[in-house]
Amino acid sequence: MAGDIAAGKARAADSCVACHGPAGISILPHYPNLAGQKAEYLEKSLRAFRDGSRVDETMNAMAARLSDQDITDLAAYFASLR
């Protein structure tokens, strides 16, 4: 399943930018930067948050709402940022 960067950008605006920044660079030190991360890593992390095998209260709640395609699109978007 290929990620759609434009769809990922739109989805990120709904759920990610408040903590991770609109360009994937967080202004707060306790939130990681996502820009330029490998898509495979981002997908694996989001799936782990969604299924509960990686635990963070906020991220588990956010990822629970994501479909497989949402995860792939978000990963493609953040991986495309430099």
- How confident is the prediction for the chain on average, in pLDDT? 96
Residues 77 and 80: their CA atoms lie apart, in Å, by 5
What integer is the mean pLDDT of 69-76? 98
3-state SS string for 37-82: CCHHHHHHHHHHHHHCCCCCHHHHHHHHCCCHHHHHHHHHHHHHCC
Topology at the third CATH level for domain 5-80: Cytochrome Bc1 Complex; Chain D, domain 2 (1.10.760)
Domain chopping of the chain, boundaries: 5-80
List pLDDT tens digits, range 11-38.
999 989 999 999 999 999 999 999 999 9
pTM value > 0.85: yes
Q: How many CA atoms lie within 13 A of 8 on its CB side?
A: 24
pLDDT beyond 90 at 2 = no
**Mean pLDDT across the stretch 32-59?**
98
CB 17 within 8 Å of CB 27: no
* pLDDT at 1 > cutoff 80: no
